[in-house]
Amino acid sequence: MASPLVTTDWLQENLDNERLALIDASMATVIGKEPIVYDHPVWIPGSYQIDLEGTLCDTGSSQLHAFPTEEQFTQEVRRLGIMPNSLVVLYDNQGIYSAPRAWWILRSMGLQQVFVLDGGLPQWLAEGRDTVSAPVREAVSSGSVVGNLGPSRVRDSAYVLQHLEDEQVAVIDARSRARFLAQAPEPRPGVRGGHIPNSLNLPFTEVLEGYRFKPASELAETFKNLAPNLHPGNGHQLVFSCGSGVTACIILLAAKVAGYDQLSLYDGSWADWGSDESLPVA
């Protein structure tokens, strides 16, 4: 499949596909949008569940949400029975929020057939499709995937600092305009207001429409308007940032949908940059 997104119709038709690994990647905390609150937890039938703040987070890191180690990743995806030829579909209970981060983790660790359910659980529910009251706890048989983190998929502050004046590297920040301009307080203590010098601002809500992503043509236009020189195939490296590395993956995925390929995540994002007094702030 050419797109990193799948529709609810596609998922409905493939729920019995033996290669399907359906995973709920919801997070407990939602920042930057009004959260959808459920009366009781529900899942799409056949769903497994992953913990982006626990088993798929390097809790030994000083970063708030740090990429998992290769060992962590390998252990978790094997528990879920994921094989190299699995069709992995990720979703979350906010429509589009944390599933893109799970998508980027799996893609960065070497899995190729990884997709996000466009609209997630809210879209599934809005269409009156079946749900269950509990996820699948563990796969019948262990998977065989071994994590191998691609060296250019995740960046740190040293890389961003080194490329502040590099016209071939663009940093795109998914936080709200008010936070980007230090007109609204940061939600985390000890983090300065403002943004990385020369970075661009694309609030993640601007690539969404309802529970879903905007059409690919509109996303392409959004990135074109953000900076006319940022078009697919021009050799630019797009580095995505946000508050702590979660919503950055929403606009990273939007860029992929729009046709961009040279993509990476500043995993520490503003929580890391804004709390380091040695780094410049605009």
Positions marked active-site: 242
What secondary structure does DSSP assign to the chain, as a single string? --SSEE-HHHHHHHTT-TTEEEEE---S---SSPPP--SS--B-TT-EE--TTTTTS-TTSSSSSPPPPHHHHHHHHHHTT--TT-EEEEE-TTSSSSHHHHHHHHHHTT--SEEEETTHHHHHHHTT---BSS---S-SS---------TTTEE-HHHHHHTTT-TTEEEEE-S-HHHHTTSS--SSTT--SS--TT-EE--GGGGEETTEEPPHHHHHHHHHHH-TT--TTS-PEEEEE-SSSSTHHHHHHHHHHTT---EEEESSHHHHHTT-TTS---
